[in-house]
Amino acid sequence: MADAVHLGSGKVRELYALDDERLLLVASDRISTFDVVLPTEIPDKGRVLTGLAAFWFARTRAITANHLLAVRADGRSTECRRLEMLPIECVVRGYLSGSGWKDYARTGEVCGHRLPAGLRESDRLPEPIFTPATKATSGHDENITGAQAAALVGAERFAEAERLSIALYRFAAAYALERGIIIADTKFEFGADRAGRLVLGDEALTPDSSRFWPADEYAPGGPQPSYDKQYVRDYCEKIGWGKTYPGPELPPDVVAGTRRRYVEAFERLTGLRFDDYLANPSVVLAG
Ligand code: Q0N
């Protein structure tokens, strides 16, 4: 870390350059809700997300190459290949929620996909759809049509990013559903390596980059509880926070309940004990 150059901060992650070809992604324990980072951290949240992403990277190599080189012993830092990132977010939706639901309710379409009439909020879609968005530097990402995305990255790149995103989502959603977790939607970021090949980057298939819902509570026709952040959201509603900066401190029981949910998602999906991950993060890469 001594000579790693800080490149930038996301809401909950830091990015450093190790050399010309490698980056270090560090996941903090910060948590955001309603787009505001809260002043209270969730212990080990960054380790859960790092471990889960590494688990998925290891298990999806037959679908697509990815940027992961190594998970460090701290369990929250990953060394990755430096890529030329595409200027689009590759979102896949298997269920109708968030901006997808809002767009459908207004227009009957999401990112140019015409959907059947009469769908309710949180309904499962007949097939997963690719709904690209632009990366907003400030504020919210904006949904765009496939044609707009293709204009940004090129038709061939767009087609490959769409194909890979849908294949990754199908694989992960089926796997997670068997373990009691619905992945309602998810966001991928791809980049090109030096040979021009498309490579999966960022963190993938975590609760921060996806909507995870508990399958046993699934009840379409309204919003669903979040697998990971529901205690935080319920607490924020209870105290009447206005959902603008600054966010509230979280009480110890909300922190403990939320940490337990993150660890539970990790253990369900990986089939590993989280303590075993802490002792040796490489366990998520085996098998
Ligand atoms: C990169 N972002 C956006 C960390 C994540 N492998 C890569 N090569 C080049 N650039 C990037 C990656 C990756 N991953 C991705 N920015 C640069 C997401 N960031 C936001 C800040 O926290």
Decide if 179 contacts 268 (C-beta within 8 A): yes
Tell me the C-alpha to C-alpha distance, in Å, between residue 8 and each of 15, 125, 239.
Answer: 5, 36, 33
User: What's the predicted TM-score (pTM) here?
Assistant: 0.98
| Digitized pLDDT (tens) for each residue of the chain, 287 residues in all | 568 999 999 999 999 999 999 999 999 999 999 999 999 999 999 999 999 999 999 999 999 999 999 999 999 999 999 999 999 999 999 999 999 999 999 999 999 999 999 999 999 999 999 999 998 776 789 999 999 999 999 999 999 999 999 999 999 999 999 999 999 999 999 999 999 999 999 999 999 999 999 999 999 999 999 999 999 999 999 999 999 999 999 999 999 999 999 999 999 999 999 999 999 999 999 97
Query: Is the distance from the beta carbon of residue 79 to the nearest atom of ligand 1 less than 6 Å?
Result: no
Q: How far is the CA of 74 from the centre of ligand 1 (A)?
A: 20
Query: Is the distance from the beta carbon of residue 53 to the nearest atom of ligand 1 less than 6 Å?
Result: no
Which of 103, 117, 49, 83 is CA-nearest to residue 266?
A: 49
Closest C-alpha residue for ligand 1 atom 2: 202
